[in-house]
Amino acid sequence: MKLKQLIEKIDKKVISDSSEVFDKSEYHAADEAIEAIIHLFPKNNTLEKVKVKVKIINTFYKTNVLAVDKLAEHITSIKGIDERIQKGDMSVVDAIRTGHGIGNSNSNDRNFYSFATKYCSFHNKEEYPIYDNLVKRLLYDINKKHKWFENEKNKNLTHDKLKEYENYKLLIDKLMKHYGITTTYKEVDKGLWIIAKYYTNKKKGQKQNNTKFDNWIADEVEKIIKNVFGKSN
């Protein structure tokens, strides 16, 4: 299937069925483990409990947080964090992603954007979609067709603009409205990630380098598209 055809064929059912594919993968068990810990420790005012949550999200999602203890200290220092997360305050993402003082060779304050959205999402999946780099690229290409960002903001979309959470969430919201999706952000996150994984591998065009997991996703997504639309190419 050509990439343009895939963009054309993404719809409510393809996203929903792809979310079910995610639930058959090893990542579903990881999500269940994280959700169990969040349920056990829902608040963010105790350092040792926040450390556990930071560690498990970082481990399963490979978000490259090396100074876990320091980031946990930073999270517990954010004023009103629990109330703000429950209200869906988008500024909490920015409060977590920077200001922690954890640096590397390129910066004195690394940007833990992906981690911050995941941390918020696992505490309130009704209000926070997860930022993912693969999904960002997919959304960017979907937006080329629909011009959601341009119509809303009256400016051209760039990949850097999707690193601003407000803009990323805007595209997720526009996509959900366009396709009549009324489930949680989490269900959409899962479906889009599976599609984006497939889409990215198709873009690379190097099937021989795909993992077993990549090939399994390809088979599952192509089955979904064939079931929904008939022949997949």
pLDDT tens, position by position, 109-161 = 999 999 999 999 999 999 999 999 999 999 999 999 999 999 999 999 999 99
Among 123, 147, 180, give the residue marking a domain's end. Answer: 123
Under the phi-then-psi rule, with left for phi > 0, alpha for psi from -120 to 50, and beta for the rest, what region is 31? alpha
Q: Considering the chain, what percentage of its residues have pLDDT values greater than 90?
A: 81
Among 123, 146, 161, give the residue marking a domain's end. Answer: 123
Apex 203 CA angle, 198 and 208, nearest 5: 75
State mean pLDDT over 203-230.
Answer: 82
Q: Are residues 154 and 112 in the same domain?
A: no
Q: Are residues 137 and 221 in the same domain?
A: yes
Confidence bin at 206 (pLDDT 50/70/90): low
State mean pLDDT over 226-232.
Answer: 72
| Cα separation, 78 vs 164, whole angstroms | 20
Q: Are residues 112 and 138 in the same domain?
A: no
Q: Are residues 215 and 100 in the same domain?
A: no
Q: What is the mean pLDDT of the chain?
A: 93
Q: Are residues 207 and 169 in the same domain?
A: yes
Q: Are residues 119 and 179 in the same domain?
A: no
Q: Are residues 16 and 38 in the same domain?
A: no
Among 123, 144, 171, give the residue marking a domain's end. Answer: 123
Q: Are residues 90 and 158 in the same domain?
A: no
Q: Are residues 42 and 81 in the same domain?
A: yes
Per-residue tokens: 199: 């889409």
DSSP character string of 95-112: HHHSSS----SS-SS---
Q: Are residues 95 and 47 in the same domain?
A: yes
pLDDT on residue 5? 78
Q: How many domains does the chain divide into?
A: 2
Cα–chain-centroid distance for residue 232? 26
pLDDT on residue 113? 97
| Cα separation, 109 vs 174, whole angstroms | 32
Q: Are residues 70 and 146 in the same domain?
A: no
pLDDT on residue 207? 60
Q: Are residues 150 and 86 in the same domain?
A: no
Range of the domain at 133: 3-25+129-229
Lowest-confidence range among 45-54, 84-93, 107-116? 107-116
State mean pLDDT over 90-109.
Answer: 91
CB 192 within 8 A of CB 7: no
